[in-house]
Amino acid sequence: MRIAARRLHELHLGGTLKVTQSFETGVPFFVWAEVQQWRQVRIPAEVRSFEDLESFVPKAAAAAGLDAEKPLPFLVSGREQLIEFHIVNRIGDGPHDMATHKKIQATFELEKAEMTIVGFHSTKHRGVFTPGDSNIHIHFQTPDNTKSGHIQKLQLGDGATLSLPASTV
């Protein structure tokens, strides 16, 4: 399975979001992994927030025999209680820095929604493919692919499952 997608998020008047899948779109950031087989791990009841997930992923990886010091793709599936996410409403090709990035974000919330979270964990790539203040970078998509974006706040639901590569990537 490849974890890669090209998605174009459009913000329409009135604050509605439209997701378009196309090979004609560009991507401002891109990281991917090819995973042949996934190993599923039940996420414990005490792991609920973004920060909890950030701490749990390397522990679960190490318990599964993976090197948690190497970059690691992962998935989380289930019905999440709350996700606060953003998209970047970038128009044009002007200079783009962190201040501009923050300014053109459009933020949304979803409650009690079924979704798949696609994530990457690395302790050595802050500001490269994870945010400067975190070891994980996570996005989500709904099963019907009508909503997706970068997760900034998270409240996992009961029964969420973490999928890790069955072997080192």
Which has the higher per-residue pLDDT, 21 or 63? 63
CA distances from 97 to 44, 87, 138 (A): 37, 15, 20
Q: Could you give all domains of the chain from N- to C-terminal order, each with its CATH number?
A: 34-165 (3.30.1330.80)
| Residue with the larger pLDDT of the pair 92 and 36 | 36
What is the distance between the alpha carbons of residues 33 and 24, in angstroms, rounded to a whole number? 21
pLDDT at position 23 is 55
| pLDDT class of 1 with cuts at 50, 70, 90 | very low
Given the DSSP bridges, would you call strands 105-121 and 136-141 parallel, antiparallel or unpaired? antiparallel
pLDDT on residue 24: 59
pLDDT in tens, 104-156: 677 888 899 999 998 888 776 555 555 656 778 888 888 988 888 878 899 99
Report the alpha-carbon distance of residue 67 to residue 46 in Å, rounded. Answer: 23
Q: Which long-range contacts (CB under 8 A, 24 or more apart) does 22-25 make?
A: none
Instruction: Place 17 in a pLDDT band, splitting at 50, 70 and 90.
Output: low
Other Cβ atoms less than 10 A from the Cβ of 138: the count is 25
What integer pLDDT is reported at residue 147 of this predicted model?
86
